[in-house]
Structure 1
Amino acid sequence: MINTKKVLITGAGTGIGRALSIEAAQKGYDLILVGRTSSTLEETRSKYHTPNARCIVADVTSAEGRALIVDAVDGSLDILINNAGVLSVGHLADMADADLERMTTTNLVAPMALTRDLLPALRTSKGRIVNIGSVFGDIAYPFFAGYSATKFGLRGFSDAMRRELSGGDIGVTYIAPRATRTATESAFSALIEPLEMTLDTAEIVAVQAWDAILKGKRESFPKGKERLFVKVQRLFPTLIDKSVGAQARDPKTLAALNASLQS
């Protein structure tokens, strides 16, 4: 049975975006899949049988790409999922301008601009904005400084829009997964053990995200130690400073990072 509600997912060609799309298809939504590469979007669509799913090849960081997306929505949208994101890992001192600009533009500016452009369609459907952030948007991790900054910004944007739209008909949900097993994992795989990261599959993230979306939650964090750490971070940030700072200074962590950057 086709659900008449229309869902748009950016970054739908791989990783969490693909998993969110498959989960949405199983719920019968009318899907609009957005990404930069036609072949990966088509591969996502091939994972399920939803004749109404549309693939829109567009770059969310450009005005032209966002215009294509607005045209595809055609005046009404029930759920916008801002999922597209990029990651660069390393010492800030070694980070190129291009890496910082790519993360800022993709992870923060693009979701803000696309949300702005789609507000009329969301108002028509009394819809919901969903921003896929990260636990790193609460707990800023060393060697992920640029990425953490963009996710802090996305969390702030989510809170601001929730308040700006309060009293209206548009809801806002912020989803904060922990590290996830996707192709992006290769960028930080050497740090998983020394930084004691717990990784979820994209499928687990998608299930938990859709549970939060359908319940109209304001925010959602993974089950486990990270949820506790977020609470400690908000109340007693110096405790997290000491714990994570010690991990960052550990010779094993630095050796793993340097080895990964040289490979």
Structure 2
Amino acid sequence: MSISTLAGTGALLLWAFLALLARMASGLPALQLTSLAFAVGGVIAVGVVAARGRLAALRQGPVAWLHGVGGLFGYHALYFAALALAPAVEANLLNYLWPLLIVLLSAPVLGLRLGARRLAGVGLGFAGCALLVGAGASFPAGAGWGFACAVGCAVVWAVYSVTSKRMAAVPTDALAGFCLATAGLAGLASFAFETPVMPDRRQWLAVLLLGAGPLGAAFFLWDAGMKRGDPRLLGTLAYAVPVASTLLLVAAGEGVLDWRVAVAAALVAGGGLLAATARD
């Protein structure tokens, strides 16, 4: 495995901890958490970009800023809200519909062929989600809003990812500016719609780890892996993330690995793997 591919694998490992760290920050409003975590990630990223002498990459057109900030802000605000409003394991797995939605959207947006194997993979993933929250499952009152947020963030990230193909000229270094802008937008929204909470030491630690890892270094590691590593291997390994993320939540006591969760995780990850390994 090349160093670049290893870097991309590091991004996947960091993203597997996203749900666990978000739950570690529980008690912070979703928009406030989004603002604080992206402020940390943005400051670190701008420092790295400045050290490399590439601050000029932050000068992008309005479409690039709308795309970058809209994707980062929309996805993470909805994701943190989902974990706050619904059981973490189930909400996290619903979020991982996004790889399958990318497959579906690639046809109308990018004009790519779907094919039977990809459609079968999508079907398996949706079957897993239906099993997870369908008939026979019981959840606390109000969890439905959290599940809606989880599906919403999957849709946002899928649209963002697919349309990124049309933003190929925007350098990865520009993400540093997008992160800071996301922090500012989330902060304004938090002041307008939420009651601010002073983080305790546990929550501050979670914010710092989120900003340094899943919402910081992971973006740059993933870019290196996708551009200079083996994207086929990384694309396949990515479907282990929902399983790893779920197991981390269960190990931390944030959920129970019953038969329903285990089968749903296998269907979501297996459906993604089946779609990812389809031949054109």
> What is the TM-score of this pair, normalised by structure 2?
0.28
Ranked by relative contact order (alpha carbons within 8 Å, sequence separation 6 or more), the top structure is 2
